Structure 1
Amino acid sequence: MNTADLGLPAEEGGRSHPRSGGWRVGVPSTALFTDQYELTMLQAALAAGTAARRSVFEVFTRRLPEGRRYGVVAGTGRVLDAVENFRFEPDVLDFLRERGIVDAPTLDWLAGYRFSGDIWGYPEGEVYFPGSPVLRVEGSFAECVLLETVVLSILNHDSAIAAAASRMATAAGDRPLIEMGARRTHELAAVAASRAAYIGGFATTSDLAAGFRYGIPTVGTSAHAFTLLHDTERDAFTAQIHSLGRGTTLLVDTYDVAEAVRTAVEVAGPGLGAVRIDSGDLLLVAHRVRQQLDELGATDTKIVVTSDLDEYAIASLAAAPVDAYGVGTQLVTGSGHPTASMVYKLVARAESDDPAAPLVPVAKKSSGGKTSIGGRKWAARRPDEHGVAEAEVIGAGRVPPRLADHQLQVELVKGGEIVSRETLDVPRDRHRAARAALPLSAVQLSRGEPVIPTEYA
């Protein structure tokens, strides 16, 4: 960790490179990131002659996580990568054949699979609410149904992380956040979490794979092991400063914090970049460290705090002399809500396999709170007279003229070709603007209902 990517000038630090929102080169097929019943449904539909029926699937959530006031769309760029790389290569087909998962005609169909339909959705970084059709996938039943699991696995994970990140960014205010949760989750999930956190408002990541794949600024200097390696804390600080420069961040809570701060300033001088506190009563310790640094003449030395922070802990430190926060476990687990509970449902299908056949709305009607609303839907966010969002309006059919300029869905894939690629700074900025357009109560950390209602036109 260093002060360069705390949003502050320094001598060291990771650099951001302009990469796309997704990472495509060398990515293997995503075709087996699915559940078996997607393929068995395909087999049965092919045999029944219904597989080619034009269909519309939508991704939405029936409710937000308990107490949350808005959701954040994240993972769209990764979904586009997954769709682009959804190919049944020879070794994958051999696996399916050897296991007897599907029959020969289905294998032949899968061998030529390429998604050729259309995808619309909320742009990445946008906020959403219960019922919001955050993604709409259109094409034949056969090509659309196969994408269900991979689409949901990406959107559910990434949107949950981005929502937690957004709440933490709100709590942090102008102070930068460092994502450092790689060691608390699966190694691939860690990369996705870092990407989602950046969209939600985090400034940097400790995960180098995320930096490489997505151009997120990376940070990192030393852990307690480095201090323990050396004969004295002074030796450890001297070695780190010699290698990384005076702008580095020194970890000062391995032994005695006050003694460590004194030694750090003696070794680095008043130009020391930052100190990191990773344990104890962070509010109390931060105040004591700030006072000590100022007394030692290190008035520009920053204070970074870590130690299992969540949005509530960050908010409790608002009055503390803290310059940046490092967050790990609570971020990569969605701060108690590791999934967005999105579903992928068929909402319309053609009466026959004739390309000109009209679409018929369909919906699950069973009891138990899992009903859905049929029909291909549009979505718009209606503003009040001050330009503040007052309702999420969802409907099928014609869009009312007064909502025409407030529609939320954008075209992502047309005829199987991706038409929307963005660098991560675009959805990051979009999220900041979308959140700012919500009522002020959206940023309250207290539990509550969605900040605006969902209305069906």
Structure 2
Amino acid sequence: MSDPAGASTALLTDHYELTMLQAALAAGTASRRSVFELFPRRLPDGRRYGVVAGVGRALDALGRFVFDEPALAFLRDNGVVDEATVAWLADYRFTGDVWGYPDGEVYFPHSPLMVVEASFAEAVVLETLLLSILNHDSAIASAGSRMTWAAGERPCIEMGTRRTHEEAAVACARAAYLTGFTATSNLAAGQRFAIPTTGTSAHSFTLLHDTERDAFTAQVDSLGRGTTLLVDTYDIAEAVRLAVEVAGPELGAVRIDSGDLGLLAQQVRAQLDSLGAHATRIVVTSDLDEHAIASLAAAPVDGYGVGTSLVTGSGHPTCGFVYKLVAREGADGAMVDVAKKSKDKISVGGRKFALRRRSAAGVAEAEMVGIGTPPVDDGDDRALMVELVRDGEVVGRESLEAGRERHRTSREELPMQARQMSRGEPVLPTVFLPR
């Protein structure tokens, strides 16, 4: 499969976005200035905070949202839209403005994560693409943040590639790194996002050789004494003895991938110390999630490898973000606030801003959401939204390292209850400011 990083993103969308466009073009309403808002109505059940991720990927995807000849031919040949709409799409370029929460920021119910202002036609066709990227990446980041907080100073490695779609795996690695994971097993993520990559061997490598000693010798001869040897293919105690015998006390690490990880880590640590391998680290894997990591806090574990639970959002593979029209140009040219009023799915009309209210000690107290012009910062209210796109040009692109640092500081700003792994309510209330 070729790298899709440079391909058009225009057809990564739902059919009805384009039929709405066709009808609006015919009705003469497609050019009305409009404001769309991407936001969560609630956090996933039991979560205390969420983490925004995928903003950088969304900006890259927006730059490639053009209807090239193959896309136009598909629409025409399959009768998706009429010829007038195909002609309009052939010239499509986003010329509007986008504001939003940047990568790594934490969020709460009704946080205005992205505000898109353009003509209805230009903005509506972006709905599916933006939701797809941010719903997925933020779900991974929200899980990853809980995992790295539970791990404390111990490093977490992302290794879930084989548990999800091949392209989703690359996005997962990015989202995980954003929230404090130190490395990934995914080489494409290393290439595209400069994330450190790591990996040594699987059980198949041990099984390939006639003896476990032969396997360990081959690995150490190839990768050096600082490598990590997998010790649970057969008998762990025997494997640890062989590992130190082959590599010496300079052995970098051993990895345990099955069993009672806490108990085994204690036994392996004692054995390594008795063999003089005091600096040899213990890395554990095997279907870890944030709860399992937290339960190992007292165990002599030096690092965690996390796969399935991370790339599936630890039980919440999407964030439930929606993209709704909140204001549009009226017949007189003035902007009119609009809102959906259907039961259980209401939205609040008007173009939003957001602030994080903090105590004098710098602890976050509330998510403040308002409509109109933000108030003057009094020093305790941190502005959450940044300019991402101006007149169609991306102005908010930043490094992944910048988002990683933002997440660290944003998360540390939360009340202590945010660290709890038990189910609970959001740690910050969302307060709508009067106009």
Instruction: Indicate whether the TM-score tops 0.5.
Output: yes
The equivalent of 1:385 in structure 2 is 360
Residues 1:376 and 2:351 are matched in the alignment: yes
Deviation per residue, 1:373-403 (Å, 9 max, x gap) = 0000110011112211101010102323355
Aligned equivalents of 2:84, 2:52: Cα separation in 1: 38
- For residue 18 of structure 1, what is the aligned residue in structure 2? none
Q: Where do residues 43-82 of structure 1 align in structure 2 (5 Å cutoff)? A: 43-82=22-61
| Local SS of the residue matching 1:406 | strand
C-alpha separation between the residues in 1 aligned to 2:154 and 2:362?
27
Q: Distance in 2 between matches of 1:295 and 1:402?
A: 60
C-alpha change, 1:435 and 1:259, in structure 2 (3 Å) is same
- In the alignment, the residues of structure 1 paired with residue 430 and residue 378 of structure 2 have an alpha-carbon distance, to the nearest angstrom, of 14
Map 1:63-142 to 2 at 5 A. 63-142=42-121
User: Is the counterpart of residue 421 in structure 1 residue 397 in structure 2?
Assistant: yes
Report Cα offsets for 1:385-441 as digits up to 9, x if no partner: 221110101010232335585211100000000012211111111001000011111
Secondary structure class of the residue paired with 2:6: coil
Aligned partner of 1:152 in structure 2 is 131
Residue of structure 1 in register with 2:303 after alignment:
324
Alignment of 1:25-424 (within 5 A): 27-352=6-331, 357-367=333-343, 369-402=344-377, 406-424=382-400
Where does structure 1 lack aligned partners over 5 or more consecutive residues?
1-23
Distance in 2 separating the partners of 1:398 and 1:100: 44
Q: Distance in 1 between matches of 2:305 and 2:370?
A: 42
Distance in 1 between residues matched to 2:80 and 2:174, nearest whole Å: 35
Map Cα deviations across residues 104-150 of structure 1 (whole Å, 9 max, x no partner): 11000000000000000011100000000000011000000000000
- How far apart are the structure 1 equivalents of 2:99 and 2:378? 18
AA paired with 2:421? L
Structure 1: which amino acid aligns with 2:147? M
Question: 1:432 is matched by which residue type in structure 2?
Answer: R
Equivalent residue pairs, number: 430
Deviations 1:259-315 (A, max 9, x none): 000000000000000000000100010000000000000000000000000000000
The alpha carbon displacement at 1:456 in A equals 0.3
Q: For the residues of structure 2 that align with 1:282 and 1:119, how far apart are their CA atoms?
A: 47
Matched residue SS, 2:34: strand
Contact 1:221 1:249 in 2 (8 A): yes
- Identity between Structure 1 and Structure 2 (%): 69
Distance, in Å, in 2 between the alignment partners of 1:414 and 1:238 is 58
One-letter identity of the residue aligned with 1:387:
G
Structure 1 pair 289–451 and aligned structure 2 pair: CA distance change class (3 A):
same
What's 1:430 paired with? 406
> Which amino acid is 2:386 matched to?
V
SS of the aligned residue for 2:62 comes to helix
- What is the SS of the residue equivalent to 1:139? strand
Which letter does structure 1 place at the counterpart of 2:393? Answer: E
Query: Structure 1 counterpart of 2:31, which letter?
Result: A
Instruction: Give 2:420's match in structure 1, choosing from 429, 444, 451.
Output: 444
In structure 1, what is the Cα distance between the partners aligned to 2:312 and 2:48?
18
Structure 1 residue 359: Cα displacement = 0.9
Q: Give the AA of the match of 2:361.
A: H
Q: Residues 25 and 152 from structure 1, CA distance in 2 versus in 1: closer, same or farther, beyond 3 angstroms?
A: closer
CA distance in 2, matches of 1:281, 1:366: 50
AA aligned to 1:265 is V
Structure 1 position 366, deviation (Å) = 1.3
Partner of 1:12: none
1:176-235 CA-partner distances (Å, limit 9, x unpaired): 000000000000000001100111111100010111110000000100000000000000
Across the aligned residues of Structure 1 and Structure 2, the Cα RMSD in angstroms comes to: 1.2
Q: Distance in 2 between matches of 1:383 and 1:115?
A: 36
Q: What is the identity, as a one-letter code, of the residue corresponding to 1:101? A: V
TM-score (norm 1): 0.93
- In 1, distance between residues paired with 2:44 and 2:5? 36
Confirm or deny: 8 A CA contact 1:382 1:403 kept in the other structure.
no
